[in-house]
Amino acid sequence: MEVSTLVSTPLVVAVAALWGALAGALLPRAAYRFAAPDEEPWRAHCPGGHPVAGWLGPAGCHACGPRVPYGPGATVPVLVTAAVCAALAAATGTRPELGAWLLLAPCGVLLTLVDLRVRRLPDPLTLSLAGGALALLGLVAAVPEHAGHWPTAAAASLALGAFYYGLHLLNPDGMGFGDVKLALGAGAVLGWYGWPTVMLGTFAGFLSGALYGWGLVALRRADRTSAIPFGPFLLGGALTGVLIGAYAA
């Protein structure tokens, strides 16, 4: 009997949303610690100088006062991660690659939070996303009823990384090396559903980034030479491609 006959899609979506909410609640402390300016070590103390214990959980210091927050609140990470996981579950259904998407999604949200705050994509996160995506999808490829192709995921990881590296060489100020490393993971998840999905997700990332930049220029909050954090748009494009690829699979 197929798994899809045993578990309904609405139940899978609800469980995925709950997983996303729980995972999102653990991100604020990591977002604070990773959101250090470029070339500086990860934050180990709260603004009051007290040591920050661990990496997961809320961002608040009891030593500074009752529940004094020192980083991003949990509301945005919880809602965003829950929504992303629910959307992935709705698109993927009960296929086994959903497990990989749900494990990778919180890392993508964390990278977005950090890049938006300090325009930095930490190596421990970008490289873990790339390695984790390839490892998890490799395991999924051995499970029946999956709808992707692992060799294409591996090839797309290298191809998209090489493409972004070329852009970095052409314009280092406009395309950071962190984006190159993030592209390795984005290429892996997009490549799972084939080369058309890779092209679609890549185009969606550049289009959304361009629209955002043009919007800032129109509002006179930036000019044509201003740099923007591109990681969130790269990840948003990858999510768009995966959702469409999953629906079409």
**Alpha carbon distance 136, 192 (integer Å):** 11
Structure-model confidence comparison of residues 126 and 49, the more confident one: 126
The pTM score is 0.92
Write down the pLDDT at residue 2.
40
Whether the Cβ atoms of residue 232 and residue 212 lie closer than 8 Å to each other: no
**Alpha carbon distance 36, 39 (integer Å):** 8
As a whole number, mean pLDDT of residues 173-190 equals: 95
Write down the pLDDT at residue 23.
97
Whether the Cβ atoms of residue 12 and residue 94 lie closer than 8 Å to each other: yes
- What is the per-residue pLDDT across 33-43, written as a single tens digit (0 to 9) for each? 999 988 888 99
- What is the per-residue pLDDT across 46-85, written as a single tens digit (0 to 9) for each? 888 888 889 999 887 777 765 556 666 788 999 999 999 9
Show the CA angle centred on residue 184, arms to residues 42 and 187, nearest 5°.
Answer: 135
Write down the pLDDT at residue 8.
64
